Chain A
Amino acid sequence: MSLVEVKGVSKRFGGLRAVSEVDLSVKAGEVHCLIGPNGAGKSTLFKLIVGLFPPTSGSILFDSVDITAERPFARVQRGMSIKMQAPSVFKELPVLQNIQIALQERTSGAERAREQERLLELLGLAQDRTKMAGALSHGQQQWLEIGMALALQPQLLLLDEPTAGMSPEETFKTGELIKSFNAEGMTVLVVEHDMAFVRQIAQRVTVLHLGKIFARGSLDEILQDEQVAEIYLGKTHAH
């Protein structure tokens, strides 16, 4: 049973085909990783799924409902949430208020207070609750944004490069966190460059290249594909 179905979706920016005829299905309950070189169209595909851009053509289904024409907030209300690639928190509001804004629709009263403490602990931000979100380090802002996405308790969590700027230990911790939420039934779609991280969490992997689906399968299957090594892994080794 797929939770998200992307069917023949393309997105053009002027002359550039950032996403081209992409079919992607994310099964309910899986952790699915989207990998590919810089500029492959991964973030654009995410934005198409949450509705920040309309696709040039194709359609997107969530829970078997066609949401292609829906506004982003309506899609979020259906049960998805996203952590974007560039940190996108409320920079001039305190950390605690950032969390509350994410929590307030779903919870109230004592439950909200409990949830908020649990999230702050989980994110390691309990000491920084009165700080302005913009004063946090890049990594902490990523955590905060992940926390805000989690606060909605989505069916589908989209994470665009969640570990950028994190230390290996923090990256590992993030991976375990994602696995624990997945164990509770959350479907997770992740864009990642870090192969160790992908190995840690991914059940299925899709490779995007020049806006097109290039390969899909388990991580091992993909790593054995020589063409993938050429377009993607060759480049990561070169870094």
Chain B
Amino acid sequence: MIKLLEGPQTLGRGPVFWSCFLAVLAGALIYPLFADSYDVGNFSYFLIWIFMALGLCLMWGYGGMLSFGQTLFFGIAGYAYGVLAINMGGGTTTIAALLLSVVIAMIAAGILGYFMIWGGINGIFFGIVTLSATLVLAFFLGQTAGPEWHIGDARLNGFNGMKGMDPLAIGSVYIEGSALYYVMVALIVIVYLALRMLVNSGIGNVIVATRENPQRAEMLGYDVRKYQLLTFVLGSGLAGLSGALYTSWGQFITPSSIGLPAAAMPIVWVAFSGRSDLTATLVGSFLLLFGFQTITVYSQQAALVLMGALLLATVMAAPQGFVLGIGKFVADRLTGRGKRGEADLSAASTLKTDEA
């Protein structure tokens, strides 16, 4: 198992890489001791979105399935957390609400994925169908302002969104501030390492094989539909985890966290970072979220325009992703293989959105 942490599907191996990993982790762990609680809370907020980015990286970068549906499952789990937390009461049941809402998102992904994949939808149409489903949910939730739209005690509240659910708690103690931060860091470490093991395992081999050439993968005896469905359910489930954490963090969720601008965000993060590598996605998404938040403080419009510009720049200048490119470059310098690195970068081909 441990051996799978390194492998052909993930960049970063050997003592240098893992030392860096531990150093960053140590930095993350002592950070709350030095920062004020407002900044720690903000930090937790950036970390919420990382799961969604990693899930898209798995689906798009590894599986070749460009899903526009990350905010769909983010929204399903986000609203599910609200409904469950409100109806089940607060306290420790919020933990169950969190887990259940992720399961609900995965079931929804299983159903949608089943019809898409068994129906033979792939390439650009996969993006179109997932985007449509996302917009339908956002539109629907926007129409639910009336008092008749409620599930148990939870009012959906249209555009204003659902509120009044408890945050995550154990007994009567809310998990917030530094405690929440540590929970986030732990979850990210677990998810990141588990995904590394997954993609370097035999299953990961089939996932990338399916991306490269689904017909050949099938000709080796693999039912590629099952692997695609697994990838889609896991990737969407991670978006669900982001959604449930988001609702619990802010104690509200609105349809605007599902709709078009929100739906495009994960694509930008992952494309910019380098969709073909988990580590690049992790680091890149964090940097972007951090930068985005910093700029949003001054102007939200400017932040959105910047995101668009970054996506364009990525497509034109570094189709395999900026963070990935820089990471490879640095790694090659360190190991004295500079020549090869440059060859790798220039060999990187165009942005492959429809290779499945």
B205 in contact (CB, < 8 A): yes
CB pair A73–B218 under 8 Å, yes or no, is yes
0/1 per residue, B177-213, Cβ < 8 Å to A? 0000000000000000000000000100110110011
Which B residues touch A88, using CB under 8 A? Answer: 213, 215-216, 219
Interchain CA distance A88-B214 in the complex, whole Å: 10
**Residues on A with beta carbons closer than 8 Å to the beta carbon of B8:** 93-94, 97
Question: Which of B146-154, B220-228, B301-309 interfaces with chain A?
Answer: B220-228
A90 and B221 contact, Cβ closer than 8 Å, known pairs A97-B8, A101-B206, A104-B205: no
Which of chain A's residues 80-116 have a Cβ closer than 8 Å to chain B? 81-82, 84, 88-94, 97, 100-102, 104-105
Task: Please classify how large the interface on chain B is, using the bins under 10, 10 to 19, 20 to 34, 35 or more.
Answer: 10 to 19
Chain A residue at smallest Cβ distance from B203: A104
Q: Is the CB of B224 within 8 A of A90?
A: no
By size class, the interface of chain A is 20 to 34
A50 close to B221 (CB less than 8 A): no
**Is A119's beta carbon under 8 Å from chain B?**
no
Contact, CB under 8 Å: A72 / B202: no
Q: Which residue from B202, B213, B218, B222 sits with its C-beta under 8 Å from A90?
A: B213
Cα distance A106–B212 in the bound complex, in angstroms? 21
Residues of B within 8 Å of A167, CB to CB, are none
Instruction: Report the Cα distance A50→B222, complex, angstroms.
Output: 13
Contacts A90-B209, A97-B8; A52 near B215 (Cβ below 8 A):
yes
Give Cα A114 to B37, complex, Å.
56
Q: Please state if A90 and B219 are interface contacts (CB–CB under 8 Å).
A: no
Q: Does the CB pair B220–A101 fall under 8 Å?
A: yes
Whole-angstrom distance between the Cβ of A168 and the nearest chain B Cβ = 28
Contacts A100-B205, A101-B205, A104-B202 hold; do A93 and B219 have CB atoms under 8 A apart?
A: no
Distance (whole angstroms) from the CB of A27 to the closest CB of chain B:
23
The 8 A CB mask of A57-92 against B (1 = contact, 0 = none) is 000000000000001111011000110100011111
Contact B205 A148 (CB under 8 A): no
- Cβ contacts under 8 Å, A91 to chain B: 212-213
Q: In the complex, what residues of B have CB within 8 A of residue A84's CB?
A: 219
Cβ of A93 and Cβ of B224 under 8 Å apart?
Answer: no
| CB of A152 within 8 Å of the partner chain | yes
